[in-house]
Structure 1
């Protein structure tokens, strides 16, 4: 029952992803959630760490594309200073937004990964789309009101996945952890 929530990898932060690790795993493009994955939900400006990480990905020709359930207006405003492509109203946990990104950017399942902070939306959507996924620790401990419901169910799911040794109880620092 909980298999659809199993991430391929667990990482402390999206910023720990390196071009070398991505290439080693055949990944050419990063699809990422926005809030609490790429930026804190309540800090749309991002951090210097984010900007450095994005510069490295750009220098290494690894596109980063935001796939968010937020409105087009909200996502466009958040990613404008970062100059990132995006898919809004992605309808995660369904695969709609991921499929749209794959179609628009001509991506194969094997060369893309979705990074997100939620099992019940991001990881479920990646699994529904047949792509690899990375669950990251949320950037901050607080959530927008609409995410708090997901977190309740996520705690139950994660506890089951850890108990059944499907995932680790600790966050990794590389894709090899």
Structure 2
């Protein structure tokens, strides 16, 4: 299903390395705004850095796949040495597929984590990689994301996900 996440978890920061290894994951692709970092604050930057280090120790690559421009994304990620793809055009799957191929990984070795059904989950599903929906880090969104959130509510309703999606500290089947 195009918008249905394979997994849910409350926050990307609760991903467990041993669980990822068990699933055969060698790369975690992540959205930036409201997934790794609050869109309007930089308070989770240190937590983002710790996640990157934890994944790197386990030989799991963290790559940010963002629709933002390279200046915005680079400003946040370059100090931490986190790889990224800017202007990814999600929900199109091309950036995910291209980055996966650059890393020489199979589809089942990549997990895409994001806070939006319409961009992140749809792009992951179109690319054929594991999809993980997280709760947004903050309740507010930029103006352009608010539009997506409106349509997302409709999708949740029609997919009957509203009552089925639960966000816990461990990966749950979506």
After TM superposition, the score normalised by the length of structure 2 is: 0.92
- Greater Cα offset, 41-50 or 65-74: 41-50
Alignment match, 2:57: 59
Question: Structure 2: 5+ residue runs without aligned partners?
Answer: none
Cα 1:119–1:164, aligned 2, differ >3 Å: closer, same or farther?
closer
Cα 1:26–1:4, aligned 2, differ >3 Å: closer, same or farther?
same
- Rounded Cα–Cα distance in structure 1 between residues aligned with 2:155 and 2:73: 28
Alignment match, 1:155: 153
- Greater Cα offset, 122-131 or 56-65: 56-65
Runs (4+) of structure 1 exceeding 3 A deviation are: 162-165
Cα RMSD over matched residues?
1.7
Alignment match, 1:170: 166
Cα 1:163–1:16, aligned 2, differ >3 Å: closer, same or farther?
closer
Cα 1:117–1:154, aligned 2, differ >3 Å: closer, same or farther?
same
Alignment match, 1:77: 75
- Rounded Cα–Cα distance in structure 1 between residues aligned with 2:161 and 2:3: 14
- Rounded Cα–Cα distance in structure 1 between residues aligned with 2:139 and 2:162: 25
Aligned length: 173
Secondary structure in structure 2 of the residue aligned to 1:162:
coil
- Rounded Cα–Cα distance in structure 2 between residues aligned with 1:123 and 1:33: 10
Cα 1:106–1:163, aligned 2, differ >3 Å: closer, same or farther?
closer
Contact residue 10 and residue 169 of structure 2 kept, 8 A? yes
- Rounded Cα–Cα distance in structure 2 between residues aligned with 1:70 and 1:164: 28
- Rounded Cα–Cα distance in structure 2 between residues aligned with 1:106 and 1:163: 34
Give the C-alpha shift of residue 113 in structure 1. 0.5
- Rounded Cα–Cα distance in structure 1 between residues aligned with 2:21 and 2:102: 22
- Rounded Cα–Cα distance in structure 2 between residues aligned with 1:124 and 1:12: 19
- Rounded Cα–Cα distance in structure 2 between residues aligned with 1:99 and 1:11: 23
- Rounded Cα–Cα distance in structure 2 between residues aligned with 1:52 and 1:24: 21
Contact residue 116 and residue 133 of structure 2 kept, 8 A? yes
Alignment match, 2:20: 22
Give the C-alpha shift of residue 63 in structure 1. 0.8
Q: Is the counterpart of residue 94 in structure 1 residue 112 in structure 2?
A: no
After TM superposition, the score normalised by the length of structure 1 is: 0.91
Alignment match, 2:131: 133
